[in-house]
Amino acid sequence: MVDDHEPFRRFVSSTISEQTNLKVIGEGQDGLEAVHQAEALRPDLILLDIGLPRLNGIEAARRIGELVPNARIIFLTQESSPDLVREAFSLGAWGYVVKVLAGDELLSAVESVMQGKQFCSNGLDGHRDLNPV
């Protein structure tokens, strides 16, 4: 889980930790930390913000994709521009959740992605390339 806003990171971590089949194994607050932790921990899934200090989430995802190609990334961000959604999926993201919808969509996104299906927040699906991963 990588987000520079600590209260939101706590919310996401506690939501994930309440699920018996999921475990948070690391947290970070910037893009460089995300890359280093991904390489060290080799997680199955990474929840990644886009607007991160030191290295934005898009660039962090590029680097993570090279270092840990089997990790599935869900962008969890306040950004909802069509260009960013398309770029995220073109990088190989499995999911894209807008933060204001996280309370309703986060667990569905995680479940879908872990089952090998892409997930995109309600209202944004038309912004992404619909080609399967």
> For the chain, what is the total number of helices (H) and then of strands (E)?
5, 4
Residue ranges per structural domain of the chain:
6-127
pTM score: 0.91
Domain 6-127 in this protein, CATH class: alpha beta
C-alpha to C-alpha distances, 34 to 61, 62, 73, 82, 124, nearest whole angstrom: 9, 11, 11, 24, 25
pLDDT digits (tens, 9 = 90+) for 50-106: 999 999 999 999 999 999 999 999 999 999 999 999 999 999 999 999 999 999 999
| Tokens 């910037």 -> residue | 30
What DSSP state is assigned to residue 115? T
